Structure 1
Amino acid sequence: MKLNIILRNSCFAAAVAAMGLLTGCQPEEVTNGNALTMADMDASFTAVSTDGNNYVFTGSDDPNIQYHTWSYTSSVGASAVEARGAGNTKALTFVFPGTYTVQHRVVGRTAGTNFVSQQTIVVTNLLLGDNIVASPNFENAADWHVFNTSGTQTVSWAFNSGSATASGGVANNYTGQGIYQAVQVEAGTYLVDMHVEGPGGNDLMWFQVFTGTTQPVNGSDYGSDPTALLGLNTWAGCGVAPFNGMLATVGCVGTGSQVTFTQPGTIYLVIKTGTGANNGVNNITVSNVSMRKLP
């Protein structure tokens, strides 16, 4: 962790200004013998974490400190501030990987003198709940159900050891096949993702992921409600070249990997793929399917 110390001081001018003797003041260094300001106070703090996401920060318990203020900003856009009145200990949870700058301000009992220190915390873990997907690597094929989306069926899923692969399709057939499972969710936001790998394809190949409240029906398409979260789509520009990575990274369609539910219940995690032209679905292999709740 990188420790940066910043010192600031405010001056005691309110009473003097009220008498018309002074209209403003600028920050100044604390110097010995200035009766209007506190002596230097210790704004440094320690940072302790057991898992790399949850931290406890502890500052000085100097009785000359009137109050503490804790705040942070981050490289992922998150920020938080606890205003005046905070104690010398602060617990913070950092959900997303990134660099977080934590700032601690102590304010003295005389003249509002304040000192600030900060530390830089680098978070590498994504803090999520347990994976609620059964057989995320298709350990038990019975946890997944297969359904045809439309047309004369020529696309199919094969369950492998540790993955599942979709392939097939003929010219101008516009057909597809999906797999799904029911999962129980709580109210809140979940992060959905999976690893996908393939040599790439063209001619109207698609691959989409949904979370919906309606159960898929064999012979019917799925996706007008809800909208796809993640996906590959050759006419949108992804899935043409070889790909190998998490779908949220290599995909180019959908609303994003986060989905929010306002109440608990049963939803259906649906993965479907298909084609409409010459080359079909060119061996898209799926593994590490995950659906985890954000704190």
Structure 2
Amino acid sequence: MKLNINLRNSFFAAAIAALGLLTGCQPDEVTNGNPLTMVDMDAAFTAATTDGNNYTFNASNDANIQYHTWKYTYTGTFPVGNLAEVKEYGNTKSMTFVFPGTYTVQHRVVGRTGGTNFVSEQTFVVTNLLLGENIVSSPNFENAADWHVFNTSGSQTVTWAFNNGSATASGGVANAWSGQGLYQAVQVEAGTYRVDMHVQGPGGMDQTWFQVFVGATQPVNGSDYGSDATTMLGLNTWAGCGIAPFNGMLSAVGCQGTGTNVTFTQPGTAYIAFKAGTGSNNGVTGITVSDISMRKLP
């Protein structure tokens, strides 16, 4: 969604805002410099985007304009620096907004005589986090062969079933601890990756867990997994989730783990794994997984 606030005023827009000139719905026009030395110049610009993160801005190519400057300020929850004013002799500018939040883009045109300048602003609300490509193969289990099954321990009454576009863990009997997991190897670069997936289930579970790991060691059939891997995200009835029905991204509905991000200091092979298990007579009433993603942060 894009919210436009168009201004045509002097470069000292903050001072004008303090006087209450920016509260109206219509653009305010203020000129700076001697109008006898430079005719009015149009600082307005248009914005185009195909994905909500990458923008192309176009402004007037008036012959009276000596050069253009562009900058943006950011308001949001991520540690994003503001873009310093950049002089551009052309009238176009491309910007990439990586993180969700509000970006205020300011365009200034400077005249060829008298130093006259005019400013226009627009505000853009970015909702998507711009990430790298998904390095997980078959994120919706398009090819079940991309995923390997491993039993963690116990009677193996908890099992995974592959569906059309998802996989579901279910099963378990009273006082018979059981768990089963899925994993695949992924190739990572040095840097930070964001991991998440969609989970859905009817709830009603007890003494039940679902955990997502990223580790450097390959899971082994018949052995539990997680002692040397990072517990990223999870459902855990002891911690209070999985009891009520759930449907959403695990980062939002889960209640266990260190969070979505994992950092690698060097490139290599890593393993993304998740396991479900229970010791309750309720069993795993159904945990359906889809849209598994592991994407590199910029």
Sort the TM-score into its range (normalised by shorter chain): 0.7 to 0.9
Moved more, 198-207 or 51-60: 51-60
Alignment equivalent of 2:197, drawn from 194, 198, 204:
194
Mapping for residues 75-90 of structure 1, pairs under 5 Å? 75=76, 77=78, 78-83=80-85, 85-87=87-89, 88-90=91-93
Q: Deviations over 1:122-167 (max 9, x none)?
A: 4455533333222222232222111122333322112223221111
**Percent of residue pairs bearing the same amino acid type:** 68
Map 1:1-295 to 2 at 5 A: 1=2, 2-5=4-7, 7-8=9-10, 30=31, 41-60=41-60, 65=66, 68-75=69-76, 77=78, 78-83=80-85, 85-87=87-89, 88-106=91-109, 115-123=118-126, 125-295=128-298
CA–CA separation in structure 1 for the residues paired with 2:228 and 2:276: 16
Aligned AA for 1:244?
A: N
**How far apart are residue 55 of structure 1 and its match?**
1.1
Q: Would the alpha carbon gap of residues 8 and 234 (structure 1) be closer, same or farther in structure 2, given more than 3 Å must change? A: same
Equivalent pair of 2:101/2:125 in contact (CA under 8 Å):
yes
- Matched pairs, number: 276
Deviations 1:6-38 (A, max 9, x none): 52367xxxxxxxxxxxxxxxxxx6577588x97
Distance 1:249 1:112, change over 3 A: farther
Seen in structure 2, the aligned counterparts of structure 1 residues 30 and 143 have a Cα distance that, compared at 3 Å, is closer
Quick one: structure 1 residues 48 and 129, their matched pair in 2 at CA, closer, same or farther if it must change by over 3 Å?
same
Kindly tell me: are residues 9 and 105 of structure 1, through their superposed partners in 2, closer, same or farther at Cα, counting changes over 3 Å? Answer: closer
**How far does residue 272 in structure 1 lie from its aligned partner after superposition?**
0.8
| Unpaired runs of at least 5, structure 2 | 13-29
Q: Secondary structure at the residue paired with 2:182?
A: strand
Q: Which of the two has higher C-alpha Rg? A: 1
Name the CA distance, whole Å, in 2 between partners of 1:32 and 1:135: 61
Provide closer, same or farther for how the CA distance between residues 181 and 101 of structure 1 changes in structure 2, counting only shifts above 3 A.
same
Q: Secondary structure at the match of 2:56?
A: strand
Structure 1 residue 187, shift from structure 2 partner: 2.8
CA distance in 2, matches of 1:217, 1:31: 71
What's the secondary structure of 2:229's corresponding residue? coil
Instruction: Return 211-220 or 93-102, whichever deviates more.
Output: 93-102
Deviation per CA, 1:42-86: give whole Å up to 9, x if none: 432222334432112234556655662411324454452123545
Tell me the amino acid that sits aligned with residue 57 of structure 1: F
CA deviation digits over 1:169-202, x for unaligned, max 9? Answer: 2333333211101112233333322221111134
Is the alpha carbon distance of 1:181 and 1:30 closer, same or farther for their aligned partners in structure 2, counting shifts above 3 Å?
A: closer
Q: What is the alpha-carbon distance in structure 1 between the residues aligned to residue 32 and residue 102 of structure 2?
A: 35
Deviates more, 1:106-115 or 1:222-231: 106-115
Once the two structures are TM-superposed, the CA of residue 287 in structure 1 deviates from its matched residue by 1.7
AA of the residue aligned to 2:250? L
TM-score scaled to structure 2, two decimals? 0.78
Report if the CA contact (8 A) 1:9-1:30 is conserved: no
In 2, Cα distance between the equivalents of 1:171 and 1:267? 35
Structure 1 unmatched runs, 5+: 11-28
Separation in structure 2 between the aligned mates of residue 139 and residue 41 of structure 1, nearest angstrom: 56
8 Å contact kept, 1:191–1:259: yes
* Inter-CA distance 285–43: structure 2 relative to 1 (3 Å threshold): same
Q: TM-score, normalised by structure 1?
A: 0.79
Distance 1:173-1:31 versus aligned 2 partners, 3 A rule: closer
Instruction: Evaluate the alpha carbon distance shift between residue 41 and residue 245 of structure 1 in structure 2; reply closer, same or farther with a 3 A threshold.
Output: same
